[in-house]
Amino acid sequence: EIPLKRGASVAGWTVVEGGVLAETCVARLAPQVAGGTELRQALDLERTAVEVPVRKDGFFQLAGLAPGVYTLEVR
């Protein structure tokens, strides 16, 4: 059985110099905020960011996303 989620997804692999990922490595996807956006609106959008742990092989997937423009950060 494979549970499906409504919406789009972003998937990828990450690598680090030396080849060893920290166990606490996470991928974070946040809606991109346009210049001139009011601080309150920017903070509200920031709260909708999604984070998932990155697997030891570097793979990550963020699923169930609404259409939009996002910023991806792996840390």
% of residues, the chain, pLDDT over 90: 33
Contacts of 16 (CB under 8 A, 6+ apart): none
Query: Mean pLDDT across the chain, nearest whole number?
Result: 85
Beta-bridge partners for 53:
26
Whether the pTM exceeds 0.85: the reply is no
- Region 53-60: mean pLDDT is 93
pLDDT at 10: 92
pLDDT at 34: 67
Contacts of 62 (CB under 8 A, 6+ apart): 9, 10, 11, 27, 29, 50, 52
Q: What are 24-50's pLDDT values in tens digits?
A: 999 999 988 766 767 677 677 677 789
